[in-house]
Amino acid sequence: MNDAASRIAHRSSPAAVAALSDTAAVRRALDRGRAVVLPNPAPLTCVVAATGPAAVNTAKRRPAGQAVALWAHHPDTLDRLDGLLDLDRDTRRFARRLLGEELVTLLVPVHDHLSVPAWLAPATLSGWTLLFGARWQPLAPLLDPFPVLYVSSANRTGGQPAATPADAAAVFAPDAPVLADPTGPAPPSGPAAPGRRATTTVRLHPDGRAELHRHGAQDGSHPGPGRYLRHLHRSYRDRGAP
């Protein structure tokens, strides 16, 4: 049995569950610049996060300079983004609601006449910035002290994102601490379990148009991209901001 097959065979095993870390250990790892793996509620999968992009990429065994998403979970970070994005006020408001309520990942344009700041550069490529929006309330006390975090799906290149912490521990522990589900253990599922997927990615254009960039958990129950995008406009834009 090769290494990859061995990992798959032992996912969600008692040993994998025992390898999970508590919140204090994960916070210490983030403080030290290490990558950690964090859970999300169904139907989302786990993510790798760190205060620096190289740590995320190293944990995933891919080139250290590869682009990652900025985790737009903190109000201060969102405020700093406002002046950098090439979106009008209404579309910026729409973007915030998509990140905070729909929990999608967004591709958004940056102003071409501005220099991209160092903290945003790892998530920016060819004039577009990738923003990850999922903010699970049980993780808020852990995330809030780290307003700038970088994030990517919890998988190695070519593999499926880990559905649960136990699945992730079989792949990433002990190199990257894996946070135990703060709401209690999830049933064994495997990374390709039905209903668990990485986030949907939506691209917002400077003229306000929305485009489905990558299928994922949020659009899976909709008949097609057009229907999903209409749902987003009805739910988060047409009725105005709260």
Please compute Rg for the chain using Cα positions. Answer: 18
pLDDT value of position 187: 55
pLDDT at 6 over 60: no
pTM for this prediction: 0.88
CA gap 17, 46 in Å, rounded = 15
Strands 128-132 and 69-71 turn out to be parallel
pLDDT at 132 over 50: yes
34-81 tens-digit pLDDT? 999 999 988 999 999 999 999 999 999 999 999 999 999 999 999 999
Domain boundaries along the sequence of the chain: 3-236
Any residues with CB less than 8 A from the CB of 110 and at least 6 apart, and which? 84, 85, 86, 116, 120, 124, 127, 128, 129
- Structure tokens that stand for 175 in this block: 């190199």
pLDDT at 131 over 80: yes
CA gap 34, 215 in Å, rounded = 30
pLDDT value of position 3: 45
78-129 tens-digit pLDDT? 999 999 999 999 999 999 999 999 999 999 999 999 999 999 999 999 999 9
Q: Which CATH number is associated with domain 3-236?
A: 3.90.870.10
